[in-house]
A and B are shown apart, each in its own frame.
Chain A
Amino acid sequence: MGKRIGTEVSLAVAEAVKMAKVDVVSAYPITPQTHIVEELSQIVADGHLDAAFIPVESEHSAMSAAVGAAATGARVYTATSSQGLALMHEILFIASSLRLPMVMTVANRALSGPISIWNDHADIMAERDIGWVQLFVENGQEALDLTIAAFKIAEDKRVLLPVCVNMDGFILTHMIEPVELPDQELVDKFLPAFEPALKLDPQNPVTMGPVGVPEIYTEAKKQWEQALIHSKPVVEEVLNEWADIFGRKYNLIEKNGPEQAETVFVTMGSLGETLMSAVEELNEQGENVGQVRIRLWRPFPKEEFKQAIQGVKKLIVIDRALSPGAVNGPVASEIKTLLYELDDKPEVVNIIAGLGGRDVTRSDFKAMLEKAQKGELKDDYTIWGVRSHAK
C-alpha cells in the first residue's frame, strides 16, 4: 500500500496532479491557491512531471489556455480561488459546454469587497451554474484522493465535463496533515492515459464552438444539462472503484451521528470535521443530533440527500456564502426546494456562518443547536456571530 507522509495539503494536491500525469498546467497565482501551483511548477522544472506549465498573465487566460489544451487532446489541470475564479467566469461555461474534461482545484476564498484572502464559499457559489461537476473535500487525504479521481470522472466517455474540487482556503490548503500517497502503479491502473473523444486534429478536422442558432440552442443546453445530471452514477462508480483499489470510501452524501437523529446539521467542506467532534460531544451530553455532509454539490445528489435525512425533524443548514436579497443561503435554498415535494418535511433553519475566514467552532455549533431548539432562529436566515454595538 501507499506511503504515509506528513505534508501541507496544497503540496499533497500538487502531488496528486503529478500522479495523474497531466500534460498541461496553466495557472495564475492567487492566495490561498499559490502553494499548489508553485509546487507544480517546481515539479515540472525538476523533470518529475513531463508537462507544459503555462505561466499565463491572468486567470481568464488560464482557463482559456486550459480550454485550448484540452481541445487539443491534453490532460489539463488548473487551480484558482476567489477573484481568480470570478475572472474565469465567462470561460467556465464554455469549458463545460464544449464538453472538455479538465480538473481545477478551487481553494475557496471570500470575494471582495472588502478584500479578504480568507475562506468562505462565495466564490464557487457565484459559479453554481457553470455546468461543471463540483466536489467539496473535507481534509488533506480527501483532497489528494479526489483530485486524482476527478480526472477519471471528467474523462469518462459518459461524462466529458470539467470537474472542480473545492477545498477551503487556508483551513485546508495550508494545513499540515498526515496523508497516504497512493502507489503510482495503482494510480496508473486506476487512471489510464487520456483518450479524448474528439480533438483538434488536422487529420480529422472538427469545428468546435460554433454559433448556436435559436433552432439548436435549447437542444445544446439540454444535452449539457443531461451530461451533468448523468455524471452522478459515474461519480459514484469512480469513487467505489477508488475504494476498491485504495481502501478509502467516499459517498456523495456523508452521514454521521445516531441513526434516528432528531436534528441534523448540514455542511459542506472542512466545517464537517469540526462539526463531527461537536456532534460527538453533543451526543454524549444526550442530544439527539447528527450531521450530513454534502460532498457532491453538482449534480446535486437529490435521492441520496433525501435518504440521508429521512425521519429528521429539524435541519440546521450552514451556508458559508451570503446571497443578498435571496430567501436563503445557496445551500439552504437548494435543500428547501428539494424538500418541498416531501409530505413529511423537516423544519429548515439556515445559518450563514464562517464568512471571510471567521472561525466556526464547536461551541458555535452547540450555541446554534440551542438557539434552534428554542426557536430563536429566523425563518429565512441568520447571519451568525455578527458583532454589534446595538443592545
Chain B
Amino acid sequence: MKRRNFIGMAGMGAAGALLHGLPAIGRTIAEAEALVIRADTAAKKRMADIALQAARSKGATYADVRIGRYLSQSVITRDKRVQGVSNTESYGIGIRVVANGCWGFAASEKMDTDSIAQTAALAVAIAKGNAKLVTEPVQLAPQKGFGEVSWQTPIEKNAFAIPVKEKVDLLLAANETALTGGANFVNAALFMINEQKYFASTDGSYIDQDVHRIWPTFTVTKVDKSSGKFQTRDSLSAPMGMGYEYLTALPEHKLTGGPTTLYKGRYDILEDIKAATAQVAEKITAKSVEPGKYDLVLDPTHLGLTIHESTGHPTELDRVLGYEANYAGTSFLTLDKWKTRQFNYGSKLVNIQADKLQPGSLGAVGYDDEGVKSGQWDIIKEGILVNYQTIRDQAHILGLPASQGCCYADSWDSIQFQRMPNVSLLPNKQTRPVADIIKSVKKGIYILGRGSYSIDQQRYNFQFGGQLFYEIKDGQITGMLNDVAYQSNTQEFWNSMTDIADKSDYRLFGTFNDGKGQPSQSSAVSHGSSTAKFEGVNVINTARKIG
C-alpha cells in the first residue's frame, strides 16, 4: 500500500540542520520480532540479482540495489512513569540506476519477483524520462566489486535482545535519583537503531551489513518558585555505534578530577544524572557571565558540535557546489581555496580527519551505500584545507581516482546521497593533560555539554552555548557561570586554537539526527576530539528580562 520513487541525478543536496528526536520509521512490531531474521543472505542475493538483471535488460548502464530492514526502538520516561515504548520496522528494496547518463531511483516494499522487476524497470524509465534535463551525464568514479562480503558493528550485547523491562527499570532508576536529589522534573530516554542493509551492484558487490546505534539521554529540570527561575541540565552521554554494553561503565571509562565525571567509550547514566541534579541546582544561583573576551577550554562533549557545524558541513563537496543552496546554504570553503593548497583554515595544531572506521562511532560502517569501502583521509592538515567529502559521482571534480565512501540513505526508500562521515580533531601527539591546559589560562571559561547552536548558511559566523560553564581565573576553576554563549567566525576561531590535550582525553561526541536534503533525510555521525583551548573568543551574556 506504499509506493515511493525518486528521480536522482548527479549531485544531491547538502547538509543542514540538526534534527531532534528519533524519526518514526516503519510499522510497529512486537519486541521479539526485532530478533527475527526476515530474509537470509541467499534470499537477498536472489532478490538483488532479479533487480540488477531487470535494470540491465531495460538499458541501465549501472545499477545498485539496497534491501534494507530498519529497526528502531525507543523507551521514553518522565518522572515516575513510562511515557512510551515504541518498536518499529521498515523493510523494502530501493533500486538506483544510471540510464542515458541520468540517475533514476525507485523503491518498493513488495519483495516478490514481479514487483522487484517492475521497480527496477520504473527506475530505468524515470532515468530515461529525465535524461533531457541533464546538462552533464553522470560520471561515476570506478569501483571494483568486492564479491560477497559482510560487516557488523562490533557489539557485545545486541540492545534489541535486552528486555524492555530492564531498560525501563534503568531509566526509572535514573529518574528516581534525580527526583530524590531535588529535581522538580526529569525525562530520560533510550533510543536504539539497527540497520540491516544488503547492497548489490552491477560492479559485482554483494555486501551484507548489520549496523547498531544507541543513545541514552536525559534532561533534569529544577524550578525555583521564589525567583521564578528554572534551569535544565542534559545528559553528557554521546550517542554511539555500539550495543547495550555502552551502558556498563567501568572505572577505566571514567575521567575524574574535573568538576564532573566524564565518560570515554562507556556511559554511567545513574552517576551522570546524580551529578546533573546537583549541578542544575547550582545553575539556578550561578553568577551571570560578564561579557567580553575569554580563553575557552572546550570539552569534547561540547567541542564535537562546533566541529560538526564549522568543519563537517562546510567541507561537504555537494554543498560547496551549490546543491543545498535552497535549504542549508552553500559553503565558504570554495574550490578555489582548496586548489591553492594554501588556504589557512586554522592554526598549525588543527588537524581534522574524516573517517568511517573509528570503533564505537556512529559513522562506522564497512562500506557506504554505493559499495565503497570505508577509509580515512585528511580534511585539514596543520591548519590547511587539503580535502573535502565526496561520493562516486563527484570524485572526478577533485581529480580523485575513487570515491571517499560518503554515500548514505536513511531508508531503503530514500535515495542515497552525500552525507558526512565522522569528522574528528586529532589529539596532541605530545603528552598534554587537561589539567595543564586549565592551569595555562588566566581568564577563561571551561565549557561542557551540548547547548544552543546556530551558524550561518556559508558557515562563517556561529554562536554556541553549552550545558555547564566554569570560570577559570589564574589557572584555577573558581565556580559556575551562567548565561554564556560564544560568538565567532570559523576561520578566526580555529586560528585561535593554541592548545589541545593528548589522546588519553580523546572522546567521541555524536549526533543521532543530522538533517540534509529536500525532503529531509537524517543521518548519524560522530566527532572525536580532546579538550582544546581557544584564545580571546568573544563571549556574550544571553540573559534578558521579559517583564
Question: Do these two chains really belong together in a complex?
Answer: no
Binding site for A on B (CB under 8 A): none
* Chain A residues near B (Cβ < 8 Å): none
